[in-house]
Structure 1
Amino acid sequence: MADDFEFLTVERAGRLATVTIDNPPVNVISMALFGELLQLANMLKYDDTLTVVVFRSANPDFFLAHFDVAAILERSTTGNAQRDAQLKPYHMLCEQFRTMNKIIIGQIEGRIGGGGSELAANFDMRFGVRGKTRVNQMEVPLGIIPGGTGTQRLPRLLGRGRAMELILSGDDMDAETAERWGYLNRIFEAAEITPFVDNLARRIASFSPHAVHVAKESMNNVERPWHEGLIEEAYLFEGLLRTDESQRNMRKFLEIGGQTPEGEQRIDALNAELGDP
C-alpha cells in the first residue's frame, strides 16, 4: 500500500495494517487530514490483501480531536439550510469505515472528541487506557450539534439516555465510564494496551478473511428488522458452509481435539491453530 500521506503513516504486516495519526499538536481534523482520511478509506476499501486495520496516534495524549472549528466558521451561511438527499462527505467517511469488509480497531490512548469521537464510534472496536482516555462531544456548547453521525451513532452505541448526557453536557466521559457504557470494549494500563491490541489484531488477521468479512457484514444487519437480519444471517452462513476453506477448517478442528472434553476446555487454543501462522 502506498504511503504518501502527510498526517498518516501506514505500516503493513501480512493482512494487518496499522495507521498512525500525526497532526500536531492535538490531531485536530483539519481539511487536509480529512482529505487524507477519505483517501485512506478508499484505499482500504478496495485492498483485498487486508483483513484488519488498527488506528493509533503518534501523540499518546490526543487520539483524534474535533473537526477544525476555524474551517467550520468558513462554511457559507447565506440563505436557509437545505435538507440534502445524499449523505455529507463526513457521513460518507464514517459509513465507509463502518461498512467496509475490514475490521477497524481504534487504540484510543488519550483524548478524543467531536468529529474524532464520531469517526471512532463507527469503528468495529475501541480500546482505551485507564485514567487517561477521555471522550468529549463539545458541539452543543459551541451552539451546534454533532454533525458527523454523532446524534445517530452514539445513541445506538451507548443508549439514548447516555448519549444525551454525553452530547448535551459537554462534560468529559472518562475511560472507566466509557468502558461501562459501551463506547470502549476494554480499558488497560498504558503499558498493556499495545500488546493486547497487537495480539487481537494479529489473531483476527490469521483467520479466514472471507469468514471475518462475512461476520462483520452479518453483524451490520443489526440495523435491519430482526426477521430480516436472521434471514440474511442464515443465507450468509450457508454461503460460507459451501467454501473449501470452511470444510477444511471444520475437519481440522475435529482432528486436533474438537468435541473432546480436553479439547473443549482449551477451545481458544484450538481456534488459534485454525488460523494462518
Structure 2
Amino acid sequence: MSASRVSQILFSRVSHAIRKPQHLITPVKYYSSQVNNYECIKTEIVGEKKNVGLITLNRPKALNALCEQLINDISHAVDHFNKDKSIGAIVITGSEKAFAAGADIKEMENKTYVSNLKHDFIGEWDKIGKSKKPLIAAVNGYALGGGNELAMLCDIIYAGDKARFSQPEIALGTIPGAGGTQRLTRVIGKSKAMEMVLSGNMITAEEAEKTGLVSKVFPSDKVIEEAVKLGEKIASHSQVVVLLAKQAVNSAYETTLQQGLQFENRLFHSTFSLTDRKEGMTAFLEKRPPKFTNE
C-alpha cells in the first residue's frame, strides 16, 4: 500500500484506526504534578525545578484527532502556563502511537463555508501559536495534517525516530487550513512542500530533520525527556529576554532581512534597560551563575 493511501486511511478514519486503548508514552522521569483537569488533554508541571509545563494530548482511541474541544483545551492550557510566572517553557506531546493523526473528520464533514466564517473555524489555533513562552513539540508516531500543523505552531520540534509527518488533506478533497501550506513552505522550501501537499505522502523523522522541519531526532522513549531538558535549559534564562529572542527569530521568519535586522537591533538595545541584562553580564564578569528576576 502506498504511503499516500496509508495517510488517507489514518487521516480520514481515525476513529476506527485502533481497536483497543493504546498506552500513553513513558512518563517523564523528573518531578511532575498535575495542575488541571481537561476533557481531551493532560497537563503537568515537570522538571527538577518545576519550571516546564507539559501538555499531553489525550484522545488515544482516536489517535489524538484534533476535535474543537481538544484545540480549545490546548489553547486554554497554553494560556494558563503563560500566566504562571514559574513556567519558562511549554512542551506539547501526544502518545507513542500518534502525536495527532489529523483533524476530526466526523466533526468537519458537515461544516459549510458560511458556518466556518461565522464561528471562526480553526481561529483558536492562532492563540496557541501566539504563546509568549516557547513551545516545544515532542512528536512520536503520526503527525498528519492538523497534527503536523500543530507541531509547526511550536517554536521547536523534537521527534522520535519512528515519527511520521504529512499533509494528506488533498486525499480528502481539501487543502491544509492551519498553516500547512504556509509554514511548511517557509521551513522546508517550495519543492518539498509542494511534494508533500500535492501527494499527501508521509516523510520519516530522518527526512524531517534533513529538511529542517524538526530540530533533532531521538529514540521514541527519550523524546519527551529530551524536550523537557530543553525546556528546563530555556527556563533557566530570563523569561523577558527569552521572549525578546523569540520575537527576533520570528521576525526573521516573517519579514525581509533589512526589516529583521532593524527589529533585532531595537530589541538588542532594549535589553540594556533590563535588570536581567545587567545581572547576566555582571555574573559573567564575576564568574558566577546569574540570578535572573525576569525584570
TM-score, normalised to structure 2's length? 0.79
**Equivalent position to 1:197, from 224, 227, 243:** 227
Give the drift of 1:102.
0.6
1:67 maps to a residue whose letter is A
Give deviations 1:66-88, integer Å, cap 9, x for gaps: 1111111110268xx99x6x994
Q: Using the alignment, how far apart are the partners of 2:91 and 2:171 within structure 1?
A: 31
**Is 1:112 paired with 2:143?**
yes
Give the drift of 1:231.
1.5
- Kept in 2, the 8 Å contact 1:99–1:217? The answer is no
Which residue of structure 2 aligns with residue 240 of structure 1? 271
Classify the secondary structure of the residue corresponding to 1:106.
strand
Q: Using the alignment, how far apart are the partners of 1:35 and 1:100 within structure 2?
A: 14
Give deviations 1:160-192, integer Å, cap 9, x for gaps: 111111111111111110110111101012243
The 1:179/1:275 distance shift into structure 2, 3 A limit, reads farther
Which residue of structure 1 aligns with residue 71 of structure 2? 34
**Equivalent position to 1:75, from 82, 90, 111:** 111
Give the drift of 1:251.
1.4
Which residue of structure 2 aligns with residue 23 of structure 1? 59
- Kept in 2, the 8 Å contact 1:19–1:54? The answer is yes
The 1:228/1:71 distance shift into structure 2, 3 A limit, reads same
Q: Structure 2: which 5+ residue stretches go unaligned?
A: 1-33
- Kept in 1, the 8 Å contact 2:82–2:131? The answer is yes
- Kept in 2, the 8 Å contact 1:179–1:187? The answer is yes
2:131 maps to a residue whose letter is M
**Equivalent position to 2:208, from 167, 178, 182:** 178
The alignment of Structure 1 onto Structure 2 pairs a total of residues equal to: 254
1:24 maps to a residue whose letter is P
Q: Using the alignment, how far apart are the partners of 2:235 and 2:121 within structure 1?
A: 29
Note the aligned Cα RMSD (angstroms): 2.4
**Is 1:252 paired with 2:280?**
no
Q: Using the alignment, how far apart are the partners of 1:45 and 1:7 within structure 2?
A: 20
Which residue of structure 2 aligns with residue 156 of structure 1? 186
Q: Using the alignment, how far apart are the partners of 2:190 and 2:163 within structure 1?
A: 22
Give deviations 1:3-42, integer Å, cap 9, x for gaps: 1311111111433101111102211112321232232344
Moved more, 210-219 or 235-244: 235-244
Give deviations 1:85-109, integer Å, cap 9, x for gaps: x99442x434333332110001101
Moved more, 8-17 or 188-197: 188-197
Q: Using the alignment, how far apart are the partners of 2:262 and 2:185 within structure 1?
A: 26
Moved more, 120-129 or 190-199: 190-199
- Kept in 2, the 8 Å contact 1:136–1:170? The answer is yes
**Fraction of identical pairs, as percent:** 27
TM-score, normalised to structure 1's length? 0.84
The 1:193/1:76 distance shift into structure 2, 3 A limit, reads closer
**Equivalent position to 2:98, from 55, 62, 73:** 62
The 1:76/1:95 distance shift into structure 2, 3 A limit, reads closer
Give deviations 1:221-251, integer Å, cap 9, x for gaps: 1212222221211111111122121111111
